[in-house]
Amino acid sequence: MPTLLVIDSSPMTDTAVTRRLTRVFVELWSDKFPGGRVIHRDVGATPPPHPDALMLAACAKPADARSALENEAIGLSDELVDELEAADHILVGSPMYNFTVTSGLKAWIDLVGRAGRTFEYGPSGPVGLLGDQQVFVITARGGFYASGSPAASMDFQESYLRAYFNFLGLDDVNFVHAEGQGVNPDTARTGEDRARQRLEALFEQGEVRKVA
């Protein structure tokens, strides 16, 4: 059964562009994979805690060497990694905050980046441990940051997320941007419509594929 993991990260639960667009993706995905399972993790409405000293200490130990407190501290991280490992497709709704991701998404990133679970260090450097999965990131941006735009050098969102997922072994990372959301209503609507059309094209053109 195909599984889709949806990560919504906007704190704006009622008006977020990324949330509207992730819902479109889920509808299209459900039509393409009837009977598929959708796991929804909302790190915008319910941000996970940032890793603390106890959780980090637990990460550095094998499971049978952890104390009861350490097992409790690492429990959420284990749950999030389990969700990530189970997914064939990973969908991230990521509004741009201060040229990068929201703090809720950053906390999720820190909790699923686990040596021995999602990556490991080998003789030649880090090796990602995740498998043949596709990642789709839907962003909403107040301005214009695409390649060639005057503000392109300030886009630390796409480069960061792409590098992070690559670090975990996920090389098939696709971005759909809804830009110009802070310019004026017409520009915002145009940017969202273009993003919606791009999502539809992903499915029409077979770019959302069945993974092994």
Q: What is the CATH code for 3-204?
A: 3.40.50.360
Backbone angles phi, psi at 206, to 5 degrees: 75, 20
User: In degrees, to the nearest 5, what angle opens at C-alpha 3 toward C-alphas 31 and 197?
Assistant: 45
State the pTM of this model.
Answer: 0.95
User: Tens of pLDDT along the chain (212 residues)?
Assistant: 899 999 999 999 999 999 999 999 999 999 999 999 999 999 999 999 999 999 999 999 999 999 999 999 999 999 999 999 999 999 999 999 999 999 999 999 999 999 999 999 999 999 999 989 999 999 999 999 998 999 999 999 999 999 999 999 999 999 999 999 999 999 999 999 999 999 999 999 999 998 86
Supply the pLDDT for residue 211.
Answer: 82
Q: Which of 211, 206, 198 is nearest to 24 (CA)?
A: 198
Mark 44-62 as b/e (b = at least 16 C-beta within 10 Å): beebbeebeeebeebbeee
- Which amino acid does the sequence have at 111? L
Supply the pLDDT for residue 1.
Answer: 86
Q: Which residue has the tokens 């990560």?
A: 7
Q: Which residue has the tokens 């106890």?
A: 54
Supply the pLDDT for residue 212.
Answer: 67
